[in-house]
Structure 1
């Protein structure tokens, strides 16, 4: 047995799990003392664009992580402050010799980690960082792709195939792995380093929706296993054939757990491969495995594209003259557009923190090129705030896709805010759940209540224009105008489409994503 010689901190950021956490395993190696640390920056608590439901999910995840660490005779140290400053203090206080963490490719994280690495170097602390939030080293994928981002799913698949299969997920550490390692825990630990309550975070209970998706690694693994047992469903899964307005989710809802790293993407990937083995199954991009690859695609492009979450200065994004209309934007946010299908989706998002990917498509198209002609950046901000699975790379990438600003360029294909929802919910049960004010309308008018006779509106105790708004725009009229605007913007665009993007725009197949709000194949008439 090797001599224990390190005092180590493992810095949890994403990767809030014990399974498939190679950086945490590295912290355990040869450690005489091990401190699992999560740094909660007070600036983010008061300034970040994070809604109450996601704060609750994070708090639940941290509590679950602390409980799982207890099984290893460890505890989680939640520290308040700027990570660069607090980690330096802790390293000096605890005489740390090794810092480990999982690689994060988002711009903020890259800049932050560079500063932390420099401080550790000055302190003589060795830094070990491991890739486990993504399937691959995405910079190697870019290198394999000729040194540029793969701008289509197909080109990404080609590059990824040259990488070989992702590494297998590593097992969680055991007590045996930690023999000879201790973590000094003071009696004041919970007071000094405990997981904050929602009250500590300034979250009012009135702002919380129903707790439908419990945060944490424990729930993530249980949810994954529940779905993997449905072998026929897994093998036949095709994302575009799932329902955007079912009363219970028609997909896995694993995306929040992947976003926080409660679930390893590599573990999920290889578990799906095991289910597929020897069986006929659907294929990427629409298959369940294809959804994991969609997540990887957006991470790869985002990591090497400047200003990926903005229109200006973003080399892959079309420059489109969106308009500002605060009244229309607020109506969209609050579910008051007068289009029940759109409004029900936005109310579900606000209440529950999750909506189906096709529902995301519908409201994103409506806000941007379909109806309101408002910038995708505004929609991105709202999704960032309200979604449990709000992921910087996926959120920006999909908003660009759905607004036809990047990746997808068939701007003339517009979701109908009326007909699209009728396909899978002709009785309007989804609308009735989230817009109870319309509950008494017959199915014939539930998607277009403004067309109901006044006597019917009176019988339903809902007068359109009084109890529920009239449509803020006429879809058929603005749709045609906006298609003309998109055509003009495309003609004027100086960016031009790369060969990859041109290939995608003319492709007969349109891919789909389970990781978050992404593209689907759909009929020309929605």
Structure 2
């Protein structure tokens, strides 16, 4: 008889409570992973699956260094576990431990496994660990309200008290079983992985965290909205942020280990604050996990209390051009090609491409973009991905105002923080590598002589803009406002008590008492994100645009 440790997202040895519990049981310990056919090529891109396999190989290597190893089984989890519980597999489990997963598919699967274990007389425990909070316990508390702001998630966190410290790696008993190795990506995908900057695994996760925290000033001064969407100068493929999100997604890095490492850097020093700070990014992650667990249909347009019902269009050609990075807008196209090649995109890049697909330009459903991200991002996470897309489509109570539209041709003053040398675009859109920098974000404005000189004729070597941004923007703002007016929609509570929107690109309330202006803050700004010359009212204190990931 043995105790199984079912690795799923908790792909690490440090701060692994299921592993600690299995070792404490006194039984032989069998670490294992199940390759579930549910997560096939249609759902998971080759780069993310390769990241998973790299993480499993790293985990196996660490276990082997301790005299144990990782067994990898293939098949429906329930079918595999029936054999493990019944002794028909290489091991016979009398106990099983795993880290809880709050995604809908995982919840349903785990309930079935718990029922199977009970019926078979197998001791089974699922343990919170993927988040700072125990998500289910927090949602179940009397008076719980889904958080829709940084203040509300901080209130929840403060009520819980200090997070527990990470667990040490226990002394793992030896395991001598042959077979069931981690497969190579070539056994599962015909396509070759193209992501090189993010090797999977706990070893790299801890090394990356150490590199980040070795620069204490960087951690203390970190403000995510000030980081560059176009990577590091001279190396546009290198992220300007920590790059830890894929490791948190797969649990190669414990969120508690990250939290306390950051805490040690900032303790007793002047430092940035949530939502912009590194702790703020982790708190946003908690917020989205709570929303995903507490809000029915969080991943849908209908029946979702966190989503305004907007009559989005459905144009497969527009969606395909956006996904392929062939919209004719080089900044958007470079970001989408970066996503496909590397599995990464900076959070401000995600802002730009999500706005462009939905309310800004193409008027396509946010769920279509969400599905593309879910397949291609290394850090694709059900709760965070849905939360981000609801946020960026302008349909959620925690969204910035829907009329804040990003210019897909960002200038030097854009909050998208895009480099103006064009090296990021030239790296990912090589058709434009010889285009002068002053035309790079709007190559269709280059004279034909310049296009010929650059070896890139717009409309032949690189597409013309798929839509006219200014026209599409105005039409979409009008459609969004009409949809709200038709439903008598009130604005989110955080914008005060106003009963309606004063109009596209206009805001007469920001906080406090609402439309009356009592208690609210007002500030004029000479132009919108797009460079619109009309005066607009900013929404008071700058909203925390940062979102988990990227």
Of residues 309, 323, 339, the one that matches 1:333 is 323
Q: For 1:183, which of 167, 175, 179 is the aligned residue?
A: 175
CA distance 1:420–1:54, change in 2 (3 Å): farther
Match of 1:520? none
* Matched residue, 2:248: 258
**Is the CA contact (8 Å cut-off) linking 1:292 and 1:514 kept in structure 2?**
no
State the match for 1:3 in structure 2: none
Give, in angstroms, the shift of residue 267 of structure 1: 0.7
Residue number in structure 2 paired with 1:225: 210
Alignment-derived partner of residue 382 in structure 1: 372
3-state SS in 1 of match to 2:93: coil
Shift of 1:26: 0.4
Deviation at 1:32, TM superposition (A): 3.1
Distance 2:46 2:95 in 1: 35
Structure 2 Cα separation of the partners of residues 457 and 203 of structure 1: 37
Is the partner of 1:294 in helix, strand or coil? helix
Deviations along 1:206-230, one digit per CA (max 9) or x if unpaired, are: xx21411100000000000001001
> May I ask how many residue pairs the two structures share in their alignment?
499
* Equivalent in the alignment of 1:439: 433
**Structure 1 residue 34, shift from structure 2 partner:** 1.3
* Structure-2 separation of matches of 1:148 and 1:260: 28
Matches within 5 A, 1:44-63: 44-46=39-41, 48-63=42-57
User: Counterpart in 2 of 1:510?
Assistant: 543
CA distance in 1, matches of 2:101, 2:378: 19
Change (3 A) 1:494 1:201: farther
Deviation at 1:497, TM superposition (A): 5.2
Cα offset for 1:362?
0.3
8 A contact 2:388–2:547 mirrored in 1? no
Is 1:138 aligned to residue 135 of structure 2?
yes
The alignment partner of 2:283 has SS state of helix
Return the offset for 1:499: 3.3
Provide closer, same or farther for how the CA distance between residues 333 and 505 of structure 1 changes in structure 2, counting only shifts above 3 A: farther
Q: In the TM superposition, what whole-angstrom CA distance separates every residue of 1:467-506 from its partner, at most 9, and x where no partner exists?
A: 1111011111111111111111122336755635758974
* Higher helix fraction (1 or 2): 1
Q: Which residue of 1 aligns with 2:181?
A: 194
Partner of 2:399: 408
State the Cα deviation string for residues 128-177 of structure 1 (Å, max 9, x = none).
Answer: 22111000112343355823311222211111111112111111113xxx
RMSD, aligned α-carbons:
1.8
Q: Give yes or no for contact 1:408–1:505 (8 Å, CA) kept in 2.
A: no
Take 1:111 and 1:452, find their aligned partners in 2: how far apart are those partners?
Answer: 55
Instruction: Give the secondary structure class of the aligned counterpart of 1:65.
Output: helix
Indicate yes or no: 2:266 matched with 1:287.
no
Measured in 2, the distance between the counterparts of 1:505 and 1:129 equals 43
Q: What aligned pairs does 1:93-242 form with structure 2 within 5 A after superposition?
A: 93=87, 94-143=91-140, 146-174=143-171, 178=172, 181-186=173-178, 189=179, 193-205=180-192, 208-242=193-227
Contact preservation (8 Å) 2:4, 2:96:
yes
Any idea what SS the aligned residue of 1:42 has?
A: coil
Which position in structure 1 is the counterpart of 2:350? 360
TM-superposition CA deviations, 1:270-293 (whole Å, max 9, x none): 111111111110000000111111
- TM-score, structure 2 length as denominator? 0.87
Instruction: Find the aligned partners of 2:472 and 2:101 in 1 and give their Cα distance.
Output: 41
**8 Å CA contact retained: 1:332, 1:367:** yes
In 2, the alpha carbon distance for the partners of 1:409 and 1:286 equals: 15
Residue aligned with 1:129, SS = strand
Match 2:312 to one of 310, 316, 322: 322
Is 1:24–2:19 an aligned residue pair?
A: yes
Q: What is the TM-score normalised by the length of structure 1?
A: 0.91
**Is 2:96–2:122's contact at 8 Å kept on the other side of the alignment?**
yes
Once residues 131 and 222 of structure 2 are traced to their aligned partners in structure 1, the CA distance between those partners, rounded to angstroms, is: 22
CA contact (8 A) 1:57 1:215 kept: yes
Tell me the alpha carbon deviations over residues 59-101 of structure 1, each in whole angstroms, 9 at most, x when there is no partner: 1000001011112211111001111111111121133221100
Match of 1:13 among 2, 8, 13: 8
Q: Which of the residues 33, 38, 43 maps onto 1:38?
A: 33
Q: Which runs of 5+ in 1 are unaligned?
A: 1-5, 518-526
Q: Distance in 2 between matches of 1:81 and 1:447?
A: 48
Partner SS, residue 97 of structure 1: strand
